[in-house]
Structure 1
Amino acid sequence: MIPFLEKIKGNNFVVLGRAGMDLYPDPPGTKTEDATQFVAALGGSSANIAAALVKHGSQASLVTSVSDDAVGRFALNQLDKYGIDRRYVRQVSGEFRNSLALAETCLEDHQSVIYRNGAADFQMTVDCVEKVDYATFTALITTGTVFAAEPSRSAALHAINLAKQAGLPVIFDVDYRPYSWPSREVASKVYSKVAALSDIIIGNDEEFDFMAGGKGLGLEKAKNLATETKRVVVYKMGEKGAITFTDNNEIHTGIYPVKALKPTGAGDAFMGGFIAALANGLQIKECILRGSASAAIVVTKAGCAPAMPTPQELDEFLQKHPGPQKPD
């Protein structure tokens, strides 16, 4: 038994990272350049993960900054709608703006346009993370996007140290977005530092390749991270499934094939389903499969946060689906 998994069963998570606005051309299938109307929803990987967790019955508190304007207030209202605790969300004035994503609900020639210049969430400071009472939580979750710029990078690293001092496991979703970083070299160095501080690391094959410094090196990187200490490392390979390294074991799992409507939201849904299952004390393999099933559900629906399944929807999906593909 890995000791920190017991702590996660408290099912109360503090999540670092952005909350933004997603705009979807409506109806589904419409190209952005042809759209005459859009549907707005909560966006941002960390907010999506928090929404997924709350839908699964967990508690989640978000730590971030939003712009002191209409879009920032939209994000706050959406956090309230999903039942995400926002006591640690700070509004910032000036020229800082909330992240904004225009994402199409289609597979063919899919376009996602992200606006991140002068992002408000990068204004999360050391003071922000020091306001958090880490002793009241059972794990800290962070996505890689919080480390792309200062002062957010230093604040997030400080939050991880405070969380570890309070005995909290650290869960790291690599979530590498090149457009946010000054260089690949800086990103690789920072991510490797964060991974060394984390207890659970989730990323895809390209992200682990990137951390390892070259194509084809990521699998060995993931394996080494797991053997350095008692970590859980999930190495996702898209349609080929995932390999999870834990306690000197390798767990190979496949995906749940579905007729997808869009490609976005799968990673955040996986995180929500996987972590909520860990909190419920399920075996690692079952947790991975519930995360994979959650991802499969989300890509069949419009939106990201609105598409996150409830436990009932997830159970119904698993009962009706013939089962995951044999892992490659």
Structure 2
Amino acid sequence: MFDVVGLGELLIDFTIVGSNASTPRSIRGSAGGAPANVLAAVTRLGGTARFIGKVGNDEFGAFLEGSLLDAGIDTEGLVRGDEATTLAFVQLDAQGERTFSFARNPGADTQLAVTEISDHCLKDSKVFHFGSLSLTNEPARSATWHGVERARSYGCLISFDPNLRPPLWPSLDLARQMMLEGIKLAHIVKLSEQELQFLFGTDSIADGLKSIQSLNQTAVYLVTQGEQGCTYATPDFTGHVASIAVQPVDTTAAGDAFLGAFLYALTRGGSQASLQSEAQMRNLVRFANVAGGLTTTKSGSFSALPGLAEVEAML
């Protein structure tokens, strides 16, 4: 039984570093992709995870497969295909905030087919996690919905992250439509305050939560707010947990670390029952906040994720 099975994109994150003559510009590559980052956060803390997705039958794909194995993530659901592995290029500003561009035309991750997903890879998990980027194109869109449906039939908790990346969508209207469909099917939804604004057209988190809860009244919602922490909402209560004070270097994977830590702690604390207690919910969010905050103090994705001892020391 795995703690979390994740389906979606696995890609190379190339980060542009250096900015002047004393530190010449260069590009550093590492494993990335939001669902994979979530799984790596789970295993880094001591949990178990399995990845379902597709990479190219190229050197980048081989690197990514090795990176999953190095992170302790099961690769039974990983498929190697003829399409090129997707590449992401990340530019950081002085505060460590990111802008993205992608080489994904079409990209192996978008070519995962329903027939390439085994029920065996879905049924042995407490949580099934997915994001929106596997919904941008067919056949991965149909494969994702198939995975969600089968995981729900096996009693998995469904976790969803809208993870808006505008350059990867044919249109923002389609992005909004697919994200709203994902929200309707999930038990746990993690989204940023910017994504809440994109979906519902309001800067008010309270108003955004009312709108999102009208779509799915039984889900737990986690709205991450960067250095401000996280606002959470369940059918029974709403609250806010402040973040820890850090000096951010690179915010890449911070939200994924938050969610991975939340899911790790959830699977350690009685699973769904923990979501019905406000005291336990606050503990889950506090744990996740610390993991997300610590991730911003290091560069990279997998390499920046904190271990359990680091999180507990900060707590």
Give yes or no for TM over 0.5: yes
The partner residue of 2:150 within 115, 140, 162 is: 162
2:309 is aligned to 312
1:149 is aligned to 137
The partner residue of 1:107 within 91, 95, 105 is: 95
2:14 is aligned to 23
Q: Which runs of 5+ in 1 are unaligned?
A: 1-9, 319-328
The partner residue of 1:84 within 48, 73, 93 is: 73
1:173 is aligned to 161
Runs of 4+ in 1 over 6 A off after TM superposition: none
Contact 2:202 2:208 (C-alpha < 8 Å) held by counterparts: no
Between the two proteins, the alignment pairs up a number of residues equal to: 304
2:203 is aligned to 216
Distance 1:180 1:20 in 2: 13
**Equivalent position SS for 1:270:** helix
- 1:102 is displaced (CA, Å) by 4.1
* Structure 1 residues 109 and 78, CA gap change in structure 2 (3 angstroms): closer
The aligned runs of 1:173-252 (5 Å cut-off) are 173-212=161-200, 214-216=201-203, 219-226=206-213, 228-252=216-240
- 1:239 is displaced (CA, Å) by 3.1
- 1:106 is displaced (CA, Å) by 5.1
* Structure 1 residues 109 and 41, CA gap change in structure 2 (3 angstroms): closer
* Structure 1 residues 38 and 225, CA gap change in structure 2 (3 angstroms): closer
Contact 2:252 2:301 (C-alpha < 8 Å) held by counterparts: yes
**Equivalent position SS for 1:215:** coil
The aligned runs of 1:60-79 (5 Å cut-off) are 60-79=49-68
The partner residue of 2:292 within 285, 292, 295 is: 295
The partner residue of 2:262 within 274, 277, 295 is: 274
Identity of aligned residues (%): 24
Distance 1:30 1:133 in 2: 41
Q: What TM-score, normalized to structure 2? A: 0.88
* Structure 1 residues 11 and 230, CA gap change in structure 2 (3 angstroms): farther
The superposition leaves residues 211-254 of structure 1 with CA deviations (integer Å, 9 ceiling, x where unpaired) of: 22x23366434335447432111122233322111132012111
The aligned runs of 1:7-18 (5 Å cut-off) are 12-18=3-9
Distance 2:313 2:97 in 1: 31
Amino acid at match of 1:87: E
Q: Which runs of 5+ in 2 are unaligned?
A: 275-279
* Structure 1 residues 138 and 131, CA gap change in structure 2 (3 angstroms): same
2:277 is aligned to none
* Structure 1 residues 152 and 230, CA gap change in structure 2 (3 angstroms): same
Distance 1:266 1:43 in 2: 12
**For the aligned residues, what is the CA RMSD?**
2.4
The partner residue of 1:258 within 236, 246, 262 is: 246
- Stretch moving more, 100-109 or 117-126: 100-109
Distance 1:110 1:184 in 2: 20
**Equivalent position SS for 2:249:** coil
